[in-house]
A and B are shown apart, each in its own frame.
Chain A
């Protein structure tokens, strides 16, 4: 029973580390343009590195038919855009100050972050 409890505690630790503490690898934007695919409940890539004060274009390509995937929002930039299925939609990101800018669907189930710095 002690072993089971230890495994349970380790599992809780793993959840906390994996979802909240771990800093995932970020994808840098090359040539000021990046394609983010919306598929299977997620954005790929979901963690994007952007240099500060540099404008960029992120093209979202939605392949996920779920209505949840239909809108992408970047609340700090007051951007929200409807993503038609299978149609690339480009969003211009202005030059930004250093910081994290979350992007997500309306329900926050699909989530990603622009890490500017």
Chain B
């Protein structure tokens, strides 16, 4: 939906003959507003050497330029006739990041310069006021001296604080108010009052002839300093996304005309064959067509072990080739790669807000005008009821209220923590869809785990064959494999694999029928076969009583017994076992330590389910659950007021994942469909799940700390600034202290969010 630069639909320019004129560039001319501008701009661009054609779209304010002229020359040509132009060339995430860092650095330096200038005047003035002399106007000499200081202060306000005044004024004009408004009003009031003292001292009682130039300059200096430090601290909050973006390479070694050449990543197209050597990073997504290797995918999936890859396996952008040299065929490039999608999803999630921040949002929207009202009210109360000099107290309290209030801290509290938390999760191979999911995940009370592929590897093997009416194991395996030949079910694959290993050929199956949750039937070699669980056999009237004990024993060893009946008689039992992932036990323990009730769901028989549950330390499980019934179990738990997380493979479990409060799709490597669930776990390990819960809890705790701090700061700071402590303790805040507190309150929020960067999710 949202794109930079390339937003103009291609159809807009389809008719342009410019397309056949070699290289094209697009410019954005921000202030072109009339038809006559179009001619002027097109003419100016047409006169640049190398330009073959320039055509402007006034509605979009874009110009498509064909030819070999550089973007700089084109922009110069447009700016020379009084317009402002920008290149709309698509830039990579890397370029955008570099530009952002450069812009932040320039802004930081400007803020530091502003700080130095403002504090350069403010500190000596403050020292004078504290230790040397009175900041009052009594004599003509003092008037002249303070007039000079007042003018110097004005110069500081223009040099170091111009952005506050321009921003404040412009926001007032648009009927909105922001932090600039408060700073401009606060410092402006202090300076104006001081200049009234200088020019018209007679209008004020002698005690009120105090000047506040030091407050004006110190506030401007301190707030600039706070902003500068905040810019630096904010940069660190996007460390995770920077790391992901850094995984993108600039070039790829493409095989063209039997030669290997380095080409820019933008010029790689799907279908290109790319050479990868040991130590290379994968530049685009693709499928290996020659060679084999071990890949380090930890940067995307969090999985520390290298993954073996051979011909036919996919490789993902940004992952690192460890050992072999191989060729792969490009399948996805640019914004379509898994890495680009991950970056896009993480960015979107980082900018989204969990519901916990809504109250702060509502307050923020009304905050600034409310502070202005409190400021006026405070001034009036001091004027009416305060001690002499009332006007000086009124000015100080009104100014201090304006300066101490910090809507920024409230507004920053949630997004800064979410930014770091979502990034932190991404580092562990956990992709969280948005802030709301993050919040819900932190309050999950029950975690439901699918067994196959989640707790177990999902790659079962045939372990035993029990003979009944059949003569030998190969006969049973042959019939079962023939029947399963069209199926992609993990158990079917295990049987087919076993038959292949034994060199058994499969026969054609006819009248195939899947009996959901129970098994399958069909005709093979003129025999009517049923293959499935005990219930299927009993439903079909097959006599199995002599073998149920044997089946029970297999099940108690966490093996799945599947009965094969041929022409109404039990032929035998095929036992299949799906190994438990080696870290499932430890990960489930972590989930329990996080306070979660863990429940296992499986379509498998009760005895096998019980054996697996016992091995992994899960005391609650539901066996023989049909796929369509998984949602009923989730709904039942929700009826008990539980906040339910469901973890499954994202495809078979889609309805249950959607029904749960938070659905976790567990993937195996970079093939996982990242759009399929609320939370995507890029690696197969359940530790990813524990990481997701742990990081969600840590982030929400951080958000709460920030919000609480910001609320308390404003709720306490504003009344104190207004002078509520004065009648009891004689305390009235100085505007300078208020300025320092305000500047550092939002910095504190950002720094607290940054603490999350050091959060270690993986505690095995």
User: Do these two chains really belong together in a complex?
Assistant: yes
Please report A residues at the B interface, Cβ cutoff 8 Å.
1, 4-5, 8, 11-12, 15-16, 18-20, 22, 24, 30-33, 35, 37, 39-47, 57, 59, 61, 65-68, 71, 73, 75, 78-82, 84-92, 105-112
Q: A18-B175, A19-B177, A80-B351 are in contact. List 5 more A-B contacts (CB 8 A).
A: A85-B100, A87-B99, A106-B412, A107-B364, A111-B176
Most buried by B among A33, A67, A80: A67
With both chains docked as a complex, state the minimum distance between the C-beta of B468 and any C-beta of chain A, in angstroms.
58
B148 on interface, CB distance cutoff 8 Å: no
Q: Is B380 within 8 A of A5, CB to CB?
A: yes
Q: Is A87 within 8 A of B4, CB to CB?
A: yes
When chains A and B are docked, how far (Å) is the Cα of A108 from the Cα of B176? 10
Within 8 A of A (CB), among B79-138: 86, 88, 91, 96, 99-100, 103-104, 106-107, 110
Q: Please, which residue of chain A has its CB at the minimum distance from the CB of B381?
A: A8
Within 8 A of A (CB), among B378-418: 379-380, 383-384, 407-408, 410-412, 415
B757 on interface, CB distance cutoff 8 Å: no
**Per-residue 0/1 for B182-209: is the Cβ within 8 Å of any A Cβ (1 yes, 0 no)?**
0000000000000000000000000000
Q: Is A24 within 8 A of B175, CB to CB?
A: yes
Which of A41, A59, A80, A85 is the one whose CB lies under 8 Å from B99? A85
When chains A and B are docked, how far (Å) is the Cα of A12 from the Cα of B351? 35
Most buried by B among A16, A42, A66: A42
B636 on interface, CB distance cutoff 8 Å: no
Q: List 26 A-B contacts (CB under 8 A).
A: A16-B369, A24-B175, A30-B59, A35-B30, A40-B166, A41-B178, A42-B167, A42-B171, A42-B178, A44-B174, A67-B104, A84-B96, A84-B103, A87-B4, A88-B4, A89-B2, A89-B3, A91-B1, A91-B2, A92-B1, A106-B351, A106-B412, A108-B364, A108-B407, A109-B364, A112-B176
Q: Is B170 within 8 A of A20, CB to CB?
A: no
When chains A and B are docked, how far (Å) is the Cα of A33 from the Cα of B415? 29
Q: Please, which residue of chain B has its CB at the minimum distance from the CB of A62?
A: B103
Which of B234, B411, B434 is the one whose CB lies under 8 Å from A109? B411
B377 on interface, CB distance cutoff 8 Å: yes
With both chains docked as a complex, state the minimum distance between the C-beta of B539 and any C-beta of chain A, in angstroms.
48
Q: Is B59 within 8 A of A32, CB to CB?
A: yes
Q: Is B373 within 8 A of A15, CB to CB?
A: yes
B303 on interface, CB distance cutoff 8 Å: no
Chain A interface, DSSP helix/strand/loop, else mixed: mixed
Q: Is A42 within 8 A of B170, CB to CB?
A: yes
Most buried by B among A35, A66, A79: A66
Q: Contacts A35-B30, A108-B361: A65 and B351 contacting too (C-beta < 8 A)?
A: no
Q: Is A109 within 8 A of B179, CB to CB?
A: yes
Q: Name the B residues within 8 Å of A84 (CB-CB).
A: 4, 96, 99-100, 103
Q: Please, which residue of chain B has its CB at the minimum distance from the CB of A57?
A: B7
Q: Please, which residue of chain A has its CB at the minimum distance from the CB of B374?
A: A12
When chains A and B are docked, how far (Å) is the Cα of A114 from the Cα of B412? 24
Q: Is A31 within 8 A of B351, CB to CB?
A: no
Q: Name the A residues within 8 Å of B28 (CB-CB).
A: 59, 61, 88
With both chains docked as a complex, state the minimum distance between the C-beta of B465 and any C-beta of chain A, in angstroms.
54
Q: Please, which residue of chain B has its CB at the minimum distance from the CB of A23?
A: B175
When chains A and B are docked, how far (Å) is the Cα of A87 from the Cα of B352? 22
Q: Please, which residue of chain A has its CB at the minimum distance from the CB of B176?
A: A111
Q: Name the B residues within 8 Å of A57 (CB-CB).
A: 7, 60
Q: Is B4 within 8 A of A15, CB to CB?
A: no
Q: Name the A residues within 8 Å of B166 (CB-CB).
A: 40
Within 8 A of A (CB), among B736-750: none
Q: Name the A residues within 8 Å of B104 (CB-CB).
A: 65, 67
Q: Is A41 within 8 A of B171, CB to CB?
A: yes
Within 8 A of A (CB), among B630-652: none
Q: Name the A residues within 8 Å of B411 (CB-CB).
A: 105-109
Q: Please, which residue of chain B has its CB at the minimum distance from the CB of A31?
A: B59
When chains A and B are docked, how far (Å) is the Cα of A73 from the Cα of B364? 15
B427 on interface, CB distance cutoff 8 Å: no
Question: Which 8 residue pairs spanning A and B have beta carbons closest together?
Answer: A107-B411, A41-B167, A90-B7, A31-B59, A80-B351, A108-B364, A109-B178, A19-B369
When chains A and B are docked, how far (Å) is the Cα of A47 from the Cα of B174? 8
When chains A and B are docked, how far (Å) is the Cα of A5 from the Cα of B381? 9
Q: Contacts A1-B384, A61-B30: A40 and B167 contacting too (C-beta < 8 A)?
A: yes
Q: Name the B residues within 8 Å of A65 (CB-CB).
A: 103-104, 106-107, 110
Q: Is B364 within 8 A of A87, CB to CB?
A: no
Q: Please, which residue of chain A has its CB at the minimum distance from the CB of B348?
A: A80
When chains A and B are docked, how far (Å) is the Cα of A45 from the Cα of B410? 25
B335 on interface, CB distance cutoff 8 Å: no
Q: Is A67 within 8 A of B174, CB to CB?
A: no
Q: Is B86 within 8 A of A12, CB to CB?
A: no
When chains A and B are docked, how far (Å) is the Cα of A86 from the Cα of B84? 11
With both chains docked as a complex, state the minimum distance between the C-beta of A38 and any C-beta of chain B, in angstroms.
11
Q: Please, which residue of chain A has its CB at the minimum distance from the CB of B418?
A: A106
With both chains docked as a complex, state the minimum distance between the C-beta of A37 and any C-beta of chain B, in angstroms.
7
Q: Is B369 within 8 A of A80, CB to CB?
A: no
With both chains docked as a complex, state the minimum distance between the C-beta of A69 and any C-beta of chain B, in angstroms.
10
**Per-residue 0/1 for B162-173: is the Cβ within 8 Å of any A Cβ (1 yes, 0 no)?**
010011101111
Q: Is A11 within 8 A of B1, CB to CB?
A: no
Q: Is B4 within 8 A of A85, CB to CB?
A: no
B180 on interface, CB distance cutoff 8 Å: yes
Q: Name the B residues within 8 Å of A107 (CB-CB).
A: 364, 407-408, 410-412, 415
Most buried by B among A75, A87, A91: A87
Most buried by A among B104, B110, B176: B176
Q: Contacts A20-B369, A107-B407: A39 and B170 contacting too (C-beta < 8 A)?
A: yes
Q: Is A109 within 8 A of B170, CB to CB?
A: no
Q: Contacts A61-B30, A81-B2, A111-B365: A19 and B175 contacting too (C-beta < 8 A)?
A: yes
Q: Is B170 within 8 A of A40, CB to CB?
A: yes
When chains A and B are docked, how far (Å) is the Cα of A116 from the Cα of B668? 45
When chains A and B are docked, how far (Å) is the Cα of A35 from the Cα of B3? 15
When chains A and B are docked, how far (Å) is the Cα of A15 from the Cα of B408? 20
Q: Contacts A16-B369, A111-B365: A79 and B2 contacting too (C-beta < 8 A)?
A: yes
B143 on interface, CB distance cutoff 8 Å: no
Q: Name the A residues within 8 Å of B434 (CB-CB).
A: 78
With both chains docked as a complex, state the minimum distance between the C-beta of B655 and any C-beta of chain A, in angstroms.
23
With both chains docked as a complex, state the minimum distance between the C-beta of A116 and any C-beta of chain B, in angstroms.
17
